[in-house]
């Protein structure tokens, strides 16, 4: 894998390899774009089969964060850190070492939580850096903010695609009942929707069952007869095989990079399913974290609600242009980025080439 070639194609600024023997820290940190403000992105801790898989993940995720910032009107760009979970032998020390490195970047990168990053990690990391944007002591858990924004986006899409003014009576399949999926399921239930959910984790399932979610086996979630399929687990779950099984007219969830490859947006389109891109729908925690970081405010209700307006804008643009919503969202994000860079007197957008798949 030619990492620099990948960065050039995706328009990335930096890719940092971090290694600390005693703690077992092995991590990649990518900054996609810091030309218009700090680069925001969470820290993901998970197992990767190969090192190249971790690099691909960090490059894709950091690039999607730039688009997410543009569409959510956050004055900044995208970044991400992935930590290879298999090598950690002193996790607290590893997070401190990661925090020290983030501190060296002096605010160019502002981090937050992502999959696998838990409260004890945050405490260790924050002992070594000031640049943790999602201030837990001031803000609610990130997943709840993300779920609130996603609910506005799903409401808008349901109205536009299904012609329904309310979520009452709508059936939604939620894949992954963790911090985002669990919170989204509870919000959908409170709005009167029927929620079918799946998660391999028994604790997540039990909490969801108590809230009123009807559970199915994780392998069966794609086959459910539902109005909306909401993927909220890990990325890459939508591919040739899973897309062929989907029954929903609307696919709208929070999992980052849920399409295994960009071309799967075309496949969904051909099968008559409207795909709301994850980076449009799941900006809630970014809006709250970056917004608090920049202004000190803790309440972002109107900004979260605007995710619904952005979803509508993307869906209408796709219809008018005869493209997929993914294509329309990428075009819109690029236009916003170009005008930001022009306003900042910066160089032409770096990201012109083929997507990093
Ligand atoms: P999480 O770890 O809390 O939850 C993920 C859940 O998915 C876990 O309960 C896990 O058991 C489950 N899962 C794993 N594989 C599954 C499968 N095959 N089928 C069903 N469930 C499966 O993570 P999270 O914070 O809820 O994030 C979920 C997704 O949303 C990730 O892709 C993340 O990048 C994205 N996201 C999260 C936030 C946030 O605020 N937390 C913001 C934006 C995007």
Q: Mind listing the pLDDT tens digit for each residue in 306-331?
A: 999 999 999 999 999 999 999 999 99
Kindly state the percentage of the chain with pLDDT values over 70.
96
Measured from the Cα of 278, ligand 1's closest atom is: 44
Is residue 103's pLDDT more than 70? Answer: yes
Q: Which residues are catalytic?
A: 80
- Determine the Cα–Cα distance for residues 249 and 325; give it in Å rounded to an integer: 14
Confidence of residue 250 (pLDDT cuts 50, 70, 90): very high
Is residue 288's pLDDT more than 50? Answer: yes
- Determine the Cα–Cα distance for residues 132 and 200; give it in Å rounded to an integer: 30
Name the residue with tokens 């799941």: 282
pLDDT of residue 343: 83
Closest alpha carbon to 274 in 152, 155, 158? 158
Measured from the Cα of 254, ligand 1's closest atom is: 30
Mutate to test the pocket of ligand 1, among 42, 63, 113, 180 (most ligand atoms within 8 A of CB): 180
**8 Å CB contact between 260 and 209:** no
Confidence of residue 354 (pLDDT cuts 50, 70, 90): very low
- Determine the Cα–Cα distance for residues 176 and 169; give it in Å rounded to an integer: 21
- Determine the Cα–Cα distance for residues 113 and 117; give it in Å rounded to an integer: 6
The mean pLDDT of 194-202, rounded to a whole number, is 98
**8 Å CB contact between 77 and 35:** yes
Cβ neighbour number for residue 328 with a 10 Å cutoff = 22
Coil vs helix vs strand at 108: coil
Mutate to test the pocket of ligand 1, among 173, 178, 213, 218 (most ligand atoms within 8 A of CB): 178
The mean pLDDT of 161-188, rounded to a whole number, is 97
Distance in Å, CA 338 to ligand 1 centroid: 32
Confidence of residue 342 (pLDDT cuts 50, 70, 90): confident
Confidence of residue 347 (pLDDT cuts 50, 70, 90): low
Tell me which residues have their CB closer than 6 angstroms to ligand 1: 114-115, 142-143, 146, 175-181, 198-201, 204, 218, 232-235, 254-256, 282, 285
Residue nearest to atom 43 of ligand 1 (CA): 282
Cross-sheet strand order for the sheet of 39-46: 14-20, 25-31, 77-84, 39-46, 109-113
pLDDT in tens, 45-59: 999 999 999 999 999
């Amino acid at each position: 894998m030619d990492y620099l070639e990948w960065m050039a194609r995706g328009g990335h600024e930096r890719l940092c390899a971090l290694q600390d023997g005693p703690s077992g820290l092995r991590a990649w940190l990518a900054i996609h774009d810091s030309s218009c403000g700090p680069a925001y992105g969470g820290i993901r801790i998970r197992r990767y089969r190969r090192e190249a898989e971790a690099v691909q993940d960090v490059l894709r995720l950091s690039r999607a964060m730039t688009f997410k910032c543009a569409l959510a009107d956050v004055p900044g760009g995208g970044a991400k850190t992935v930590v290879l979970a298999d090598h950690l032998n002193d996790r607290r020390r590893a997070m401190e070492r990661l925090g020290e490195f983030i501190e060296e970047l002096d605010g160019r990168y502002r981090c937050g939580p992502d999959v696998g990053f838990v409260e004890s990690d945050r405490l260790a990391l924050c002992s070594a850096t000031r640049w943790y944007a999602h201030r837990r002591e001031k803000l609610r858990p990130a997943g709840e903010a993300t779920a609130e924004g996603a609910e506005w986006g799903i409401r808008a899409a349901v109205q536009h695609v299904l012609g329904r003014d309310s979520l009452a009576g709508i059936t939604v399949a939620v894949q992954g009942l963790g911090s985002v999926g669990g919170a989204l399921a509870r919000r959908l239930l409170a709005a009167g929707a029927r929620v079918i959910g799946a998660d391999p984790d028994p604790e997540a399932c039990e909490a969801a069952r108590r809230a009123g979610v009807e559970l199915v086996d994780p392998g069966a979630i794609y086959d459910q007869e539902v109005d909306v399929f909401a993927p909220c687990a890990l990325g890459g779950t939508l591919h040739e095989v899973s897309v062929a099984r989907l029954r929903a007219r609307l696919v709208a969830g929070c999992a980052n990079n849920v399409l295994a490859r960009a071309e799967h947006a075309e496949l969904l389109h051909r099968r008559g399913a409207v795909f709301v891109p994850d980076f449009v729908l799941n900006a809630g925690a970014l809006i709250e974290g970056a917004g608090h970081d920049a202004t000190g405010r803790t309440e972002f209700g109107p900004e979260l609600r605007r995710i619904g307006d952005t979803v509508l804008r993307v869906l209408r643009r796709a219809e008018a242009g005869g493209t997929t919503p993914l294509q329309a969202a990428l075009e819109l994000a690029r236009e916003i980025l170009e005008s930001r860079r022009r306003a900042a007197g910066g160089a032409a957008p770096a990201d012109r080439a083929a997507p990093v798949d």
